[in-house]
């Protein structure tokens, strides 16, 4: 084989080897993009994320040094003791064999006790130090340093959405003050203790920019905490495989300034008004009660008792479980549906225009609702001039045939069923009604 031939063959081999190399480099470097919503490498959003990152980068530093040393030694030895065609002493046909045999073999050794003890003890010590710091960080994040009477939230995972039960005074022995879904809204700069659990299968709650992930296990309550240093939207994703639509089980944390959060929370505590027959959205309300209220609650509307007295949030008992006598509650509570910017497990946007965090509060406090709420609410809020356009077509697709939008086993009460029997006008009425629920 001529040298020329060999050279071009080598080049071709290098070229084909370079492709997977470059591809993996591109994939690796894309993880450094700081604008990704689920990016774990930014640590300015939360003190807990900072702790995780600080630990991560120290461990990464140690691992890099060890990796470079080990890989460097391997590469050096591969190169240094490579099989040179001309110098191969194991090739009986090597014409230089006699010459090679004339050279004495280097000193042959077997084992080195000191070296072996060293390379056993040093890694063990490194791992021990890493484990100690990691365990301290993990235990710390299960502990809350917030005052007892401050906001606590119970997080409940269900196929395939998240429920948030808010205890404003921190008292978990009483029913939550209000319940919401998909978007966990918290005041900025305050540690919020969470109790994370699940109703059906195991899920995992994870807002990468704010804290690590925590499993949501049926029948267990895992203490966790979340804190955002500045207002903003922080996205998350269920991170424990939980069936068909696991990939579509998203959630968000929205952090508001403390005073904004108080206004938002007061609004969330309101029940919805029962519409009278002369209201333009009366038909939508009645269609909702007939078709949707088997699973979805609207506080003040679907939970009135026989005397037509509103039972509001009392459907939730002290343990955050739903009272047996009420069927509704196994799907997201829609009392303030239009004040959220996402639906269907946060996979769809309710509004076509982007709802920025500074507009979020105004989304729930329209002039209409602010006046009907009475004292306290809306006082410090400017009149609402923020009217984003709802995605009516998206909402219509969802209500008509949700399983086509997000895989569901609706026959087993997992996920939202289709409503093929409703007419377009009827679906539009339901949507119009839902959009009044701010
Ligand atoms: Cu819930 Cu995966």
Q: What does the pLDDT look like over 344-387, one tens digit per residue?
A: 999 999 999 888 888 888 888 754 444 444 444 444 445 556 78
Residue written as token pair 């081999």? 13
Residue written as token pair 């894309």? 30
Question: Any idea which of 56-70, 183-197, 371-385 has the lowest mean pLDDT?
Answer: 371-385
Residues 6+ apart with CB under 8 A from 293: 301, 302, 328
Q: Spell out a b/e string for 422-438, using b for 16 or more CB atoms within 10 Å of the CB, else e.
A: beeebbbbbbbbbbbbb
The per-residue pLDDT for 85 is 64
Distance 285 CA to ligand 1 centre (A): 31
Q: Is residue 347 classed as helix, strand or coil in its secondary structure?
A: coil
The per-residue pLDDT for 286 is 92
Question: 276, 373 in Cβ contact below 8 A?
Answer: no
* Secondary structure letter of residue 209 according to DSSP: T
- Structure-model confidence comparison of residues 424 and 320, the more confident one: 424
Q: Is residue 85 classed as helix, strand or coil in its secondary structure?
A: helix
Of the candidates 234, 252, 273, 256, the residue with the CA atom closest to the CA atom of residue 380: 256
pLDDT tens digits, residue range 299-340? 888 765 444 444 444 444 444 444 333 334 578 999 999 999
Which listed CATH number (1.10.287.90, 1.10.760.10, 3.40.50.2020, 3.30.470.20) goes with 36-142?
A: 1.10.287.90
The per-residue pLDDT for 325 is 30
Instruction: Give φ, ψ of 133 to 5 degrees.
Output: -65, -40
The model's pTM: 0.80
Which residue spans within 344-425 are E strands per DSSP? 348-349
Q: Cβ(405) to ligand 1 under 6 A? A: no
Residue 2 has pLDDT above 60, yes or no: no
The topology under which CATH files domain 151-438 is Immunoglobulin-like (2.60.40)
Percentage of the chain lying above the pLDDT 70 cut: 84
pLDDT tens digits, residue range 248-266? 999 999 999 999 999 999 9
Tell me which residue has its CA closest to atom 1 in ligand 1.
203
Q: Cβ(336) to ligand 1 under 6 A? A: no
The per-residue pLDDT for 92 is 78
- Please list the residues that pair with 163 across neighbouring strands: 156, 181
pLDDT tens digits, residue range 283-295? 999 999 888 887 8
pLDDT tens digits, residue range 14-58? 888 888 889 999 888 877 766 677 877 777 889 999 999 999 999
Q: Cβ(238) to ligand 1 under 6 A? A: yes
What is the DSSP track for 222-286? Answer: EEEEE--SSSEEEEEE--S--STTGGG-EEEEEEE-HHHHHHHHHHHHSPPPPPPTTSTTHHHHH
Instruction: Place 73 in a pLDDT band, splitting at 50, 70 and 90.
Output: very high
CA atoms of 372 and 366, how far apart (whole Å): 10
Q: Cβ(216) to ligand 1 under 6 A? A: no
Cα-based distances in Å from 253 to 66, 188, 259, 393: 38, 11, 17, 26
Range 78-89 average pLDDT: 73
């Amino acid at each position: 084989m001529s040298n020329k031939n060999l050279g071009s063959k080598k080049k071709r081999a290098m070229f084909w080897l370079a492709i997977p190399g470059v591809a993996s480099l591109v994939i690796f470097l894309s993880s450094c993009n700081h604008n990704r919503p689920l990016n774990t490498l930014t640590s300015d959003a939360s003190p807990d994320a900072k702790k995780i990152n600080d630990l991560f980068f120290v461990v990464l530093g140690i691992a890099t040094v060890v990796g470079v040393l080990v890989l460097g030694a391997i590469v050096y030895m591969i190169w240094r003791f490579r099989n040179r065609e001309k110098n191969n002493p194991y090739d009986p046909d090597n014409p230089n064999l006699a010459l090679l045999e004339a050279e004495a073999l280097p000193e042959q050794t077997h084992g080195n006790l000191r070296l072996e003890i060293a390379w056993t003890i040093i890694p063990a010590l490194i791992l021990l130090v890493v484990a100690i710091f990691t365990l301290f960080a993990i235990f710390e994040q299960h502990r809350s340093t917030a005052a007892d009477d401050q906001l606590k939230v119970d997080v409940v995972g269900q196929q395939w959405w998240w429920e948030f039960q808010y205890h404003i005074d921190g008292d978990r022995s009483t029913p939550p003050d209000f319940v919401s879904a998909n978007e966990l809204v918290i005041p900025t700069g305050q540690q919020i203790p969470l109790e994370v659990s699940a109703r059906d299968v195991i899920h995992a709650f994870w807002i990468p920019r704010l804290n690590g992930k925590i499993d949501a296990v049926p029948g267990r309550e895992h203490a966790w905490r979340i804190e955002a240093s500045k207002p903003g939207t922080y996205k998350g994703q269920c991170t424990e495989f939980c069936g068909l639509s696991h990939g579509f089980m998203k959630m968000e944390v929205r952090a508001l300034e403390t005073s904004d959060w108080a206004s938002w929370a007061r609004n969330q505590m309101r029940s919805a008004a029962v519409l009278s027959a002369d209201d333009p959205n009366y038909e939508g309300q009645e269609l909702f009660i007939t078709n949707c209220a088997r699973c979805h609650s609207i506080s003040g509307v679907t939970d009135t008792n026989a005397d037509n007295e509103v039972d509001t949030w009392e459907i939730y008992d002290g343990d955050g479980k739903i009272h047996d006598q009420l069927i509704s509650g196994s799907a997201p509570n829609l009392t303030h549906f239009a004040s959220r910017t996402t639906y269907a497990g946060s996979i769809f946007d309710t509004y076509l225009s982007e709802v920025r965090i500074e507009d979020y509060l105004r989304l729930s406090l329209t002039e209409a609702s602010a006046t009907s709420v009475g004292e306290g609410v809306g006082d410090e809020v400017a009149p609402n001039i923020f009217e984003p356009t709802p995605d009516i077509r998206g909402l219509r697709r969802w209500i008509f045939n949700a399983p086509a939008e997000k895989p569901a086993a609706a026959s087993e009460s997992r996920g939202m069923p289709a409503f093929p029997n409703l007419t377009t006008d009827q679906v539009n009425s339901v949507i119009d009604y839902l959009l009044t629920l701010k």
